[in-house]
Amino acid sequence: MADEDAAEGAPSGEEREGAIKEVEVELYAVLGQSTMLVSQLLKIGRGAIIELDQRTSDPVEIQVNQQLIAYGEIVTVDDKLGVTITDVIKKPFV
């Protein structure tokens, strides 16, 4: 009887899916990475250039919660940077 009452008050799959779609996540476009010593980091100032491990022709990684979900290319949209998705990573959900 208690299971039936709980099931009646439980949201349907469609309602749960709708609620999940409203959750905000942070998305990152990773241009590249670099490793340096703290002594080098302390010397960084305006105009310094940090060399990254990516070439300008390499795809940008798109990450959500530090998980790779896609690759893309940098574009400009009006006066801002954007990313065009070029490949979506398909992983099975566990």
Structural domain includes residue 9: no
Residue 8 belongs to some domain of the structure: no
pLDDT at 15: 72
Domain assignment present for 45: yes
Please name the amino acid found at residue 9: G
What is the per-residue pLDDT for 19?
80
Is residue 49 in a domain? yes
**Residue 35 placed within a domain:** yes
pLDDT in tens, the chain (94 residues): 555 555 566 767 677 777 888 888 999 999 999 999 999 999 999 999 999 999 989 999 999 988 999 999 999 999 999 999 999 998 765 5
What is the total count of domains within the chain?
1
Identify whether 78 is part of a domain. yes
Rounded to whole angstroms, how far apart are CA atoms 55 and 30?
Answer: 13
pLDDT score for 4: 55
- pLDDT attached to residue 71: 96
The confidence score (pLDDT) of residue 8 equals 65
Q: Is residue 15 part of a domain?
A: no
- What are the residues whose beta carbons fall under 8 Å from the beta carbon of 31, sequence distance 6 or more? 52, 54, 60, 74
Measured CA to CA, the distance from residue 80 to residue 77 in angstroms comes to: 5
Report the CATH number at residue 84: 2.30.330.10
> Residue 85: which domain range?
25-94
Inside any domain, residue 79: yes
Residue 77, token pair as written in the block: 């949209």
Q: What is the pTM of this model?
A: 0.67
